Chain A
Amino acid sequence: MARRKKPSLAVWKFASCDGCQLTLLDLEDELLALADAVHIAYFAEATSTALKGPYDLSLVDGSITTPADAVRIREVRRASRYLVSIGACATAGGIQALRNFRDVREFLSTVYAKPEYIETLATSTAIADHVPVDFELRGCPIDKRQLLEVLSAFLNGRRPNIPAHSVCVECKLRGNVCVMVTGTPCLGPVTHAGCGALCPTYHRGCYGCFGPMEAPNTPSLARAFQAAGRSETELVRSFRNFNANAPAFREESERHDE
């Protein structure tokens, strides 16, 4: 196709393990095609080249945990035509959002010899809590086929084909026998699809890595977990995970945490 100019891509890191942005490098078979289709302007994990903005598409990995990052994300937003946040950290605050349920100052004094050198926020929050986001791609980590779909969609000016329904749909499309009905509590019925039902395919209950699905009914599933013998503590842990600060999961975990 005759494009006038290759769109520029920037990849940004905030508080995260980097796993999601590395998914980009993990697109082994498509990497050359991607390098052909876009101009990589900023991607510290891949190249030391750092071109100035504006950028056509920014992928943002990580959550906002420091005052400096709260400022930096605004700069990234200003320099980006489209901004897509990727992964549980960027879309829900990540596992580090467990701090949101406790007093961060206690952690600081326990962990650091000189806590006064540490400048941090009381919470870990999603990118969308700070700046407008054009699309959120879920997952801990994100799924590489879904990342490719989002990139293709933005490059072709179409809507990404990323359904927000439950993991159950993916199980049924794969022909899996439901693990919950055969005896293993599973978060799949309230969890956003995307992983391809990885854990249920290997006979494990879903851990909720992709966060809450569209309009989840977490109280009903929690009652089913209780009926299957899960304690209140276990329920808190089930919902307070990589997506602990996603509103539906946060509220459900709080209901079981007195």
Chain B
Amino acid sequence: MAEVAPPEAERERFVLSVDGLEALLVALRGDGWRLMGPTVRDGAIDHAEIRGVADLPRGMTEVQEAGTYRLARREDGAFFGYAVGPRSWKQLLFVPKLRLFRAHRQEDGFQVEPESTEPPRLALIGARSCDLHAIAVQDRTFLEGPYKDPDYAARRERLFVVAVNCGQAGGTCFCVSMRTGPRATSGFDVALTELLEGGHRFLAEPGSERGAALLARVGAIPAREPDARAADAVVERTAQSMGRAMDTTDIKGLLYRNQEHPRWDNVSERCLGCTNCTLVCPTCFCSSVEDTTDLVGGVAERSRRWDSCFTLDHSYLHGGSVRHSIRSRYRQWLTHKVASWWDQFGTSGCIGCGRCITWCPVGIDITEEVAAIRATDGARPGA
């Protein structure tokens, strides 16, 4: 877990060359961290295990809109010139499938064989501010409630985070509205800002002691004022070019008083109930527990896998599903995400990454749905 960062104003900033970035990645690997960073895979910039700078999506970017994602080239050779990809870091912390235990039948009763896998030590390379906020949101769910999730906790402890301040906003990004970016302010060991003008280099900011030690080891030099200003300008420009915006004024009240708004009927004609929005969302945390047996009933297994409030089984109680219509399922998801999450966890469940907009096969846009309800606040069916 990243250590507590010193207050922003006191943080010293450094400059790292492109070779310095390679040295940083090599040093992390040398220290036994597995590097998980951006790379081009199946038509998208997605994270996977990388070995060094050569695996980064240099000169690549993407065009994201509601329901579409296309890779594109850029001329400036940027390493981190894209926004967020199809999968968040949730994939690595709250893993999609997890075996919880196996049980073997004995002469009298059964014996439980617990799972005992030590998770890998991962270095996240290129994590964005919105996604670091998402990790903090999931921490509240998995670590800070009455029950701690042991698997999540173990994975979470074995993380090193190299953040990147966004040099460009994606077409569906709205972190500025959610106050989660584009500049990383906490939850990292090192934060980089890629500078492309006046020589390709990075402004590097340590967020922990081990981050500062790493920067010193790989030859980062103290930044001069113009470099620091250039980095601030990059982030400022990104903040000015958000693809989307969401007005969050009294958003809880807005959604709570509009549970019968006709917009829910409208969205239910479009929503497929396919679950994509929830599974790509970096904060959605639902899972289902499944038991299986072998043919003769000698071995049983319990596992956990991602689930979604869009499946009928998710709300299945004795006699049927509580949220039978798509209308009620979409309403549940959106209302939980931006309103009742506050009651439950003291924070918004949405951090404005835009994934649910891009990766919805029919392009349903959370910002547009909220705006539509706000525009006709209080409307009733048939009105």
**Chain A contact residues, CB within 8 Å of chain B:** 1, 30, 33-34, 36-37, 148-149, 151-153, 155-156, 158, 161, 163-166, 168-169, 172-173, 175-178, 180-183, 186, 188-190, 203, 214-217, 219-221, 223-224
A184 → B minimal CB distance (Å): 9
**Is residue B91 contacting chain A, with contact meaning CB distance below 8 A?**
yes
A169 near B279 (CB under 8 angstroms)? yes
Q: Which residues of A contact B269 (CB under 8 A)?
A: 217, 219-220
Give 16 A-B contacts (CB < 8 Å), ordered by A residue: A1-B105, A33-B294, A33-B296, A152-B294, A152-B295, A165-B312, A168-B274, A168-B275, A172-B276, A176-B42, A182-B68, A190-B274, A215-B273, A217-B326, A221-B272, A221-B362
1/0 per residue, CB under 8 A from A, across B255-293: the answer is 000000000000001111111100110000000001111
> In the complex the two chains form, is B297's CB within 8 Å of A224's CB?
no
Closest to A1 in B: B297
Verify A215–B86 contact, CB threshold 8 A: no
**Docked complex: B26-76 residues within 8 A CB-CB of A:** 41-44, 46, 67-70
Alpha-carbon separation in the docked complex, A224 to B46 (Å) = 25
Asked whether A155 and B295 contact (CB < 8 A) given A168-B275, A172-B280, A181-B69, the answer is: yes
- A221 and B42 contacting across the interface, CB-CB below 8 Å: no
Residue B180 interfacial (CB < 8 Å): no
In the complex, the chain A residue whose C-beta lies closest to that of B46 is: A177
Q: What is the minimal beta-carbon distance from A12 to any residue of chain B, in angstroms? A: 21
Is the beta-carbon distance between A177 and B41 smaller than 8 angstroms? Answer: yes
Evaluate contact between A217 and B272: CB separation under 8 angstroms.
yes
Q: Which of B128-136, B139-147, B240-248, B303-311 forms contacts with chain A?
A: B303-311
Please name all residues of chain A whose beta carbon is closer than 8 Å to the beta carbon of B105 when the two chains form the complex. 1
A224 and B362 contacting across the interface, CB-CB below 8 Å: yes
Count B-side interface residues using an 8 Å CB cutoff. 48
Q: In the complex, A40 Cα to B102 Cα: how many Å?
A: 29
Least CB separation from B305: chain A residue: A173
Q: Are A175 and B361 in contact (CB under 8 A)?
A: no
Query: What are the 5 closest A-B residue pairs judged by CB atoms, nearest first?
Result: A189-B274, A172-B279, A177-B42, A165-B311, A182-B43
Other-chain residue from A180, A203, A214 in contact with B311 (beta carbon distance below 8 A): A214
Given A172-B280, A220-B270, A221-B272: A181 touches B292 (CB 8 Å cut-off): no
Q: Interface code B92-118, partner A: CB below 8 Å = 1, 0 otherwise?
A: 000011000000010000000000000
Q: Looking at A149, A176, A180, which has the most chain B CB atoms within 10 Å of its CB?
A: A180
Across-interface contacts of A175 in B (CB, < 8 A): 87, 91, 96
Are B86 and A177 neighbours in the complex by a CB distance under 8 Å?
A: yes
- Output the least CB separation between B326 and chain A (Å): 6
* Interfacial chain B residues near A169, Cβ < 8 Å: 275, 279, 306, 308, 311
Q: Which A residues are CB-close (under 8 A) to B280?
A: 172
Q: Does B358 make an interface contact (CB < 8 A)?
A: yes
Q: Bound complex: CA of A80 vs CA of B44, how far in Å? A: 51
Q: Are A183 and B91 in contact (CB under 8 A)?
A: no
User: B303 — nearest CB in chain A belongs to which residue?
Assistant: A161
A177 to B41, CA, bound (A): 8
Assembly CA distance A152 to B280 (angstroms): 32
In the complex, which residue of chain B has the Cβ closest to the Cβ of A161? B290
Q: Tell me how many residue pairs across A and B have CB atoms closer than 8 Å.
A: 136
Per-position 1/0 for B75-86, Cβ under 8 A of A: 000000000001
A221 to B276, CA, bound (A): 14
Query: For B294, what are the chain A residues with a Cβ–Cβ distance below 8 Å?
Result: 33, 152
When A37-B295, A152-B292, A175-B87 are in contact, do A181 and B272 touch as well, CB less than 8 Å? Answer: no
B312, A221: Cβ atoms closer than 8 Å: no
Task: Provide the residues of chain A in CB contact with B296, threshold 8 Å.
Answer: 1, 33, 36-37, 155
Shortest C-beta distance, B111 to chain A (Å), equals 14
Which of A1, A148, A188, A214 makes the CB contact (< 8 A) with B312? A214
* CB pair A168 B43 closer than 8 Å: no
Partner of B359, one of A30, A178, A217: A178
Nearest Cβ in chain B — how far from A216, in angstroms?
8
Return chain B residues, CB-CB under 8 Å to A176: 42
The complex places the Cα of A33 from the Cα of B270 at a distance, in Å, of 47
Report whether B295 and A34 are in contact in the complex, using a CB–CB cutoff of 8 Å: yes
B313 within 8 A of A: yes
Which one of B46, B96, B276 lies within 8 Å of A189 (CB-CB)? Answer: B276
Across-interface contacts of A219 in B (CB, < 8 A): 269
* B69 engages A189 (CB within 8 Å): no
* Contact of B119 with A by CB under 8 A: no
**B69, A166: Cβ atoms under 8 Å?**
no
**Residue from A158, A163, A173, A190 within 8 A of B293 (CB atoms):** A158
Q: A82–B46 Cα gap in the complex (Å)?
A: 47
> A168 contacts B279, CB within 8 Å?
yes
Which of chain B's residues have a CB closer than 8 A to the CB of A217?
Answer: 269-273, 326
Q: B residues within 8 A CB of A190?
A: 272, 274
Query: Smallest CB-CB separation from A224: which chain B residue?
Result: B362
Contacts of B41 in A (CB 8 A): 177
Contacts of A158 on B, CB cut-off 8 Å?
291, 293
- By a CB distance below 8 angstroms, the chain B residues around A33 are 294-296
**Least distance between B348 CB and chain A CB atoms (Å):** 23
CB contacts (< 8 Å) of B87 on chain A: these are 175
Contact A148 B305 (CB under 8 A): no
| Chain B residue, CB-CB nearest to A159 | B291
CB-CB under 8 A from A221, the residues of chain B are: 272, 361-362
User: Measured between C-beta atoms, what is the minimum distance from A223 to chain B in Å?
Assistant: 8
CB atoms of B292 and A178 under 8 A apart = no
